[in-house]
């Protein structure tokens, strides 16, 4: 990542723009619905997350974007936008969910066509560097059958914390997970 620029948030409802060498992390907008629906309709993407259903029901992407735009949300979601470099306006998303005691949970997915490109690592590293929630601790969780996402986390300074299980809506089952933690500078 060569340059990192952001606009600091002044209210919980404001999200910073975060620029990296190849990407812009920006708040979601209504025009993102089509690409989000397209990528999350892929079973492989849905099964890599806890909350994306498969098949994707009508209106699910619209509801997701609407929730991400709510002023009183607990989760901030950024589009991973590559349009300034000839790529799509949405390559995936990265998010932070506020937890208690200055902790946030990080989540991310990228469209299957962008796997193994470094986009997820670049986006996660940028979000961690900016730390817009001013969290003391970041948590993340990946399914154990998704070692690529685990590599993204370890590449971005997350340490393995332990094994657990989480429900996957797309799989309609509990799935073994690896949990990761990143302590932030105070």
User: Tell me: the pLDDT tens digits for 66-122?
Assistant: 999 999 999 999 999 999 999 999 999 999 999 998 999 999 999 999 999 999 999
Give the tokens for residue 79.
């589009």
Q: Is 61 helix (H, G, I), strand (E, B) or coil?
A: helix
E strands present in the chain: 5-6, 18-19, 24-27, 75-81, 92-98, 103-110, 137-143, 159-168, 173-183
Give the tokens for residue 49.
């997350």
What percentage of the chain exceeds 70 in pLDDT?
92
For CA atoms 80, 157, 133, 174, the dihedral sign is: positive
- Summarize pLDDT for 134-164 with one digit per residue, the tens: 999 999 999 999 999 999 999 999 999 999 9
- Residue 186 is predicted with a pLDDT of 67
- Residue 185 is predicted with a pLDDT of 81
**Residue 4 above 80 pLDDT?**
no
- Residue 7 is predicted with a pLDDT of 39
Work out the mean pLDDT of the chain and round it to a whole number. 93
- Summarize pLDDT for 112-129 with one digit per residue, the tens: 999 999 999 999 999 999
Cut 0.85: pTM above it: yes
């Amino acid at each position: 990542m060569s340059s990192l620029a952001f606009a600091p948030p002044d209210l919980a409802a404001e999200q910073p723009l975060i620029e990296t060498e190849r990407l812009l992390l920006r708040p979601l907008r209504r025009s993102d619905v089509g690409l989000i629906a397209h990528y999350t309709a892929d079973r492989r993407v849905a099964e890599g997350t806890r909350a994306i259903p498969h098949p994707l029901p009508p209106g699910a992407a619209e509801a997701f974007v609407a929730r991400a735009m709510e002023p009183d949300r607990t989760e901030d979601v950024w589009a991973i936008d590559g349009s300034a470099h000839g790529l799509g306006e949405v390559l995936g998303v990265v998010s932070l969910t506020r937890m208690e005691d200055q902790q946030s949970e990080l989540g991310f997915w990228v469209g299957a066509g962008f796997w193994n490109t470094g986009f997820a690592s670049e986006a996660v590293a940028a979000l961690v560097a900016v730390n817009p929630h001013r969290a003391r601790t970041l948590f993340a969780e990946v399914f154990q059958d998704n070692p690529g996402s685990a590599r993204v986390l370890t590449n971005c300074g997350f340490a393995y914390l332990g094994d657990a299980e989480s429900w996957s809506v797309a799989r309609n089952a509990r799935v073994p997970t690896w949990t990761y933690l990143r302590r932030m500078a105070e």
